[in-house]
Amino acid sequence: MHGTILIADSHAGELGELRSLLRENGYTVEVVSTGKDALLAFADRRPDAVLVDVALADMDGVELCDRVKQADEARDVPVLFLGAGDDIQQRIDALDRGGIDFIPRPFAAAEVLARVKRQVTVANARLALQESAAKFRAATESAIDAIVSANARGLILSWNKAAVELFGYSEEEMLGESLTKIIPEHYRDAHNAGVERVGSGGRAHIIGSIVEIEGLHKNGHEIPVELSLTAWKLDGKRYFTGILRDIAERKEAEQRLKSVTESAIDAIVSSDASSTVVGWNRAAEEMFGWTAEDIVGKPLETIIPKRFHGPHKHGMDRVTNTGDSHVIGTTVELAAVHRDGQEFPIELSLSTWTVAADRYYTGIIRDISARKEAEDQLKEYADQLAAQHEELQRRHDELERSRHALEASFKQTQKLFSAMTDSMPGAILNGKYRLEEKIASGGFGVVYEGVQLSLERKVAVKLLRPPSQEDESTVLERFRREGVSTTRVKHPNAVSIIDLDITAGGFPYIVMEFLEGRTLSQLIKDEGALSIGLASRIMADVCGVLASAHQAGVVHRDIKPSNIFLVGDPQQPFVKVLDFGIAKLMDEPGLSSVTRTGQFVGTPSYMAPERLRPEAPETELSDIYAAGVVLYEALTGKLPIPPRKTLVQTIQAHMNSQPIPLTNICPEVPSELAGLVSRLLSRDLEDRPSASQLQAELLELADAPGAGESIPCVVTRRRVEPDEAATETWDDASETRPAAQS
């Protein structure tokens, strides 16, 4: 079927031959005799051609043609007029009003058929061309890339919306213009030469390939673009269509990537699926000795040891064929080859990527020669340590066996010493001193009431307890220091040392003046908090001793109520400071090493915070802090930092907690006294006064009005004796004393 023909002719009866001939040639023919019927038939079905009698009975044929052409879908339908051949004006009007042909009567049916065929064919071709053009325009307008067509002379024939956005020119501005309008100056000579070559029958060098060039924007700046060019012919003429993509962002990304790869400390190497090197950064040049110019384009096997060539090829084939890779996405340790032929160990992280269905590989490579060398050295060192550990373990086992033996021996010695001390009363030491009643025992010795035979006077004799873990020289050094430090302190309120010697049985002893009375600890326990006057006078006397000791270079290190002995009238006692046995001679710093490792010398509840830290500086200001604690306790019956259940907890409290302000315990305490106690207990050493300054301030407080009265304090639970907390963990803190001094 070639199409439908509508014939509107007042002489319909004369058209039998034409109708038959059209039908024989594959056309469907519909014949009407009036213009009205023709319009109805045309509206019912759109014919491929219309034959119209110029002189219809009900309307002029030209009028029918006008009315048919009013519909958009009918504008391209060919209208052929039938009329008298001798009426020239009629023929002119018909062709002028839209007729495509005029067939004069009488006509031959074969001629009419030929003319109909030609016009239907032309109309169909025109329609197809219009549809094709519409589809082409729709495609180009929806494309994200610029699509530009030009003829062989380089004149622009089409310009889509993406081209408007890319170059800034509208379609009206560019149609018919030369392509040089969007070509930078430095490309124009090459472009003109190409146009001339193509125009003379030559070939375009870039047709069928994709190239990166620059385009020229309307505002004058250049744009990096990717161009894909094709050529086509129409009616024997050559045309070109270019697809242009803005690659400014890609170029910027490539530049950023290049700056990253060039600044990377690791080598970054890329290859294509054929194992040809396509990327090589500066770090790779330094690592392998090849420049990018030397290596790009060469096989990747250039940097792979020969023994790995087979597995490498097998792996590349497997990834290409199956997509399966054992190393992509992981980090592996391999070996590589330097340009000089030397192998070195590397760490490789491999990734893969595709461009236009082509697979590429990128490896990040790190030279691990130094790390491997360090690992080998570390292994050697670990082996040595293991051997040394085994030897140390053997020695440790031997020492442990020796320790158990020593402990057993010490326990036996302690039992013997305890039994001996009970039987010592009546014994005479070195023909000079007779031991009588045992009056006290402590961590390092036993104290007896004795008699100095030459003068027949009472004395106190302290016999040293046998050592545990310490050697004999250390024990003797401790004992010597008690005598030396005490004799260096020349003050009436310091206990007097009479003699220092060793018994015939090898037991060191020290002889002191005998005192009768009780300790400040016992006084507070028996009678409670003291008045401001009494507490201040007692501590003023203690400070007098400390001032003398500090001037002589001696730090007491264990000022506490049990080391302050009160002789005579309880309301006006004579003060004696005891136990310089753990004093530190300030001009003999090495003597601090005689303490047992990891133990403190002193009583933690009275120790300044700085003394609780290893290697902390120790000065006479530590004694001032302890004096502040004793003054606080004498006034309140309580400690400023209450002792905890264990030694560790007590130490942590003193290191991390602030003392309870005196005003919290005794709200009515005089402000001068509260301020003084706060300065004495300050963690800042600069806040604490010297012993002589403190003595002067205490004497002023002792003489102040109302000093004879005790301060009303808040009642709390029974005072915990500091000696009751963890008494087995520090040196002289565990001594117990009767009413007489020890």
> Which residues does residue 327 pair with via DSSP β-bridges, in sequence order?
none
Which amino acid does the sequence have at 193? A
The answer to whether the beta carbons of residues 524 and 561 sit under 8 Å apart is: yes
Q: Enter the tokens of residue 112.
A: 């009419």
The answer to whether the beta carbons of residues 268 and 363 sit under 8 Å apart is: yes
**521 CB burial (10 A radius; 0-12, 13-18, 19+):** buried
**415 CB burial (10 A radius; 0-12, 13-18, 19+):** exposed
Question: At 298, is the secondary structure helix, strand, or coil?
Answer: coil
Which of 716, 714, 711, 723 shows the shortest CA–CA distance to 672? 711
Dihedral angle computed from the Cα positions of residues 93, 97, 99 and 102, in that order, rounded to the nearest 10 degrees: 0
SS3 of 602-618: the string is: CCHHHCCHHHHCCCCCC
- Sheet with 343-355: list strands edge to edge: 277-280, 267-272, 358-367, 343-355, 331-337
Q: Enter the tokens of residue 580.
A: 């310089």
Residue 220 half-sphere exposure toward CB, CA atoms < 13 A: 0
461-477: b (≥16 Cβ within 10 Å) or e: bbbbbbbeeeeeeebbe
Q: Is the dihedral of CA 702, 707, 711, 717 positive or negative?
A: positive
| Cα 477-607-629 angle, rounded to 5 deg | 130
Dmax (CA) for the chain in angstroms is 182
Question: At 532, is the secondary structure helix, strand, or coil?
Answer: helix
Neighbours of 478 (CB within 10 A): 22
| Start-to-end C-alpha separation, the chain | 140
332-362: b (≥16 Cβ within 10 Å) or e: eebebbeeeeeeebbbbbbeeeeeeeebebb
Residue 231 half-sphere exposure toward CB, CA atoms < 13 A: 18
* Omega within 30 of 0 (cis) for the link into 722: no
Q: Enter the tokens of residue 67.
A: 């009315």
Residues across the chain: 742
The answer to whether the beta carbons of residues 242 and 147 sit under 8 Å apart is: yes
94 Cβ contact list (under 8 Å, min separation 6)? 54, 61, 62, 65, 81, 83, 102
Which of 43, 45, 18, 28 shows the shortest CA–CA distance to 103? 18
Chain position carrying tokens 């269905």: 357
Q: In angstroms, rounded to a whole number, what is the distance separating the alpha carbons of residues 432 and 725? A: 39
In 193-236, the DSSP E strands lie at: 210-216, 222-234
Chain position carrying tokens 């009546």: 426
Whole-angstrom Cα Rg for the chain? 59
The pairing of beta strand 457-464 with beta strand 433-441: unpaired
DSSP string, 121-161: HHHHHHHHHHHHHHHHHHHHHH-SSEEEEEETT-BEEEE-H
Q: In angstroms, rounded to a whole number, what is the distance separating the alpha carbons of residues 197 and 187? A: 16
Positions annotated as catalytic residues are 558
The pairing of beta strand 27-32 with beta strand 3-8: parallel
The answer to whether the beta carbons of residues 681 and 706 sit under 8 Å apart is: no
The answer to whether the beta carbons of residues 595 and 616 sit under 8 Å apart is: no
